[in-house]
Structure 1
Amino acid sequence: MSFKHAFIFFWVPFLFFGCSQNKIENHKTKDPSNSESFIKNVDAATFKNLVDSGQGIVLDVRTIGEVAQGHIPNAHVADIYQRDFMEKIQQLPRDKEVYVYCTVGARSSQAAKILLDNGFKKVYNLKGGIIDWTRNGYPIEK
């Protein structure tokens, strides 16, 4: 097997599956003294109900360019790839639920873990991201 074929055989699947959404459905905090902290991956209908409840903070972790193409109304923006991401999430109130999303759910899954590790208690991740949100006909702003 040539080097080129070996590269394709071993690395292409890694790159493809490495960018897919995390399969963890529910992630509880590692701190056993705080059993009320969790991450829950939810579908678009459940996410919309949570957003409509007004009890939490909607957090978009996509790039500014992606956000400009359309975002969930009243979403806070904190690009997970930017240096100021941690600073931005530190400014959010920890006593509220956080409804986090990205394009397909992979970055928001990463962000959800970061939020949990930084003292947020109830974090909901939109499975399928804004793609699933718009597929269901839910509103976006530009």
Structure 2
Amino acid sequence: MKFTIPYFLILLLVLSCNAKNQEQTDQVGPENQDGFIKTIDAVTFKNLMESGKGIVLDVRTKEEVAQGVIPETQIIDIYDPAFSEKIKSLPKEKEIYVYCTSGVRSMMAAKILQSNGFDRVYNLRGGIIEWQTNRFPIDRPVR
């Protein structure tokens, strides 16, 4: 039993270090450079949206989108085989504010966007779940 507590503390330390490393890997390039991907919280995401400088991009499936979207969102499913082609219709001079359900697929999409010439990409940490936790507005798509 006396060995259990030190092992537990070591495990806790290792897990917290991994979480910190994951948070750091979500930041790809500093914001003041020409191109970057930045993972941000819902409040910052909403403030950037309201600035009018960018495009909000939802990369969820149509079934997920049917549950509600962030207002003024463009929708391009990351699983669509034509995803890379469809994003080419977006203006590259605009900032892109990308989200999914939890933030994982939107980070994948952010990397694809960056590799296709989009310089300023913001990923919503926690996705639409975090958005809803903050009680920000959701639009229900017309069926």
Deviation at 1:47, TM superposition (A): 0.3
1:125 aligns with 2:123: yes
1:28 aligns with 2:29: yes
CA RMSD of aligned residues (A): 1.3
How do 1:93-112 residues align onto structure 2 when only pairs under 5 Å count? Answer: 93-112=91-110
Given the two structures, how large is their TM-score scaled by the length of structure 2?
0.78
Match of 1:16 in 2: none
Deviation at 1:36, TM superposition (A): 1.1
Residues 78-111 of structure 1 show CA distances to partners (whole Å, capped at 9, x for unaligned) of 1000112112101000000000000000000000
Match of 1:79 in 2: 77
Match of 1:88 in 2: 86
Q: Distance in 2 between matches of 1:68 and 1:25?
A: 28
Q: Distance in 2 between matches of 1:74 and 1:87?
A: 21
Q: Distance in 1 between matches of 2:74 and 2:83?
A: 12
Match of 2:28, SS?
Answer: strand
Q: Distance in 2 between matches of 1:104 and 1:50?
A: 19
What amino acid maps onto 1:77 in structure 2? I
What amino acid maps onto 1:79 in structure 2? D
Q: Distance in 2 between matches of 1:140 and 1:89?
A: 23
Pick from 47, 57, 60 the counterpart of residue 59 of structure 1.
57
Unaligned residue ranges in structure 2 (runs of 5+):
1-21
Given the two structures, how large is their TM-score scaled by the length of structure 1?
0.79
Aligned residue pair count = 116
What amino acid maps onto 2:85 in structure 1? E
Q: Distance in 2 between matches of 1:74 and 1:91?
A: 17
Q: Distance in 1 between matches of 2:83 and 2:74?
A: 12
Match of 1:42 in 2: 40
Deviation at 1:62, TM superposition (A): 0.1
Over 6 Å off, 4+ runs = none
1:68 aligns with 2:46: no
